[in-house]
A = this chain, B = another copy of it.
Amino acid sequence: MSVYQYGKFLLFGDSITQYSSKQIIEPDNGQIHFSIAAALANDYQRKLEVITRGFDGYNSEQALHMLPEILKFEHDTKPVEEQIKIAWIFFGTNDSSVGGTHIQHVPIGRYAENMETLIRMLQSRGIKVIAIKPGTHDETLADEAKQRERAKRSNQLQKQYGDVLGEVCGKLGVPSVDLYDVFINSGLSSADLLSDGIHFTGTAYQLMYNELMKVISANYPDLHPDNIPLKLPPWREATLDKLKAYRSN
């Protein structure tokens, strides 16, 4: 075991995960938005590697074929010290769409089965899992072109898919981030939270981050950044002799 080996925090999901490093949402105004992946990378700096596997438009059915491969390369073929320690799994926003292009929609019972299978794949490897339930939806925020292009979604459906995921989590003993409730309870408007009715503003990602850190603290305190020691000594103590002692050959 070397101090130069990093365990991993996997972020696995759809577009909302893919865009978790995006700071500039509207290119024309240049406003800097909060990035949840950057916040985690900053918290876990010199502690864990945060790796993002987010795939725009994908659902839990596609994820069934992806997660074994992600785990193969980021976990199974790696030394224990470089394996995934903690992961969020975040599907449901696309699964809960209806009509439109069939590939995005997954019936609610099948979604529950898929999420159970995916979570078990992580659990069987000793990875600490946090399930993220879908947030809220607001179709009035999409412009006409986007509305035409998109499969139909609704706030009500996202809530139902979140509820069924909550049941799976209860069965498997996995904590979840109740994003729907967090968004509703924030008292903020859809326009504050959603850039186009589906995707998150920095404000929404910040609410998600706050809740995620609470869930980590309550359920996996040993993996909270405050409880993981910093890799390598503070510079004043990082004498060349000490650094030599960390060298593996």
Contact = CB atoms under 8 A, between A and B. Distances in A.
B61 A52 contact: no
A118 to B, nearest CB: 14
Interface stretch (A30-38, A157-165, A169-177, A218-226): A30-38
A239 interface: yes
Given A35-B35, A38-B35, A235 B69 contact: no
A231 B202 CA distance: 25
A62 to B, nearest CB: 6
A45 B21 contact: yes
A187 interface: no
Nearest to A206: B32
Interface in A18-74: 18-19, 21-23, 32-35, 37-39, 41-42, 45-46, 49, 51-52, 54-58, 61-62, 65-66, 68-70, 72-73
B234 A56 contact: yes
Contacts of A236: 57, 101, 103
A238 interface: yes
Given A32-B32, A73-B82, 6 more contacts: A2-B73, A4-B70, A32-B202, A41-B41, A94-B235, A103-B238
Q: What are the nearest 8 A-B pairs in CB distance? A: A57-B235, A38-B38, A65-B243, A21-B41, A21-B42, A4-B69, A35-B38, A21-B38
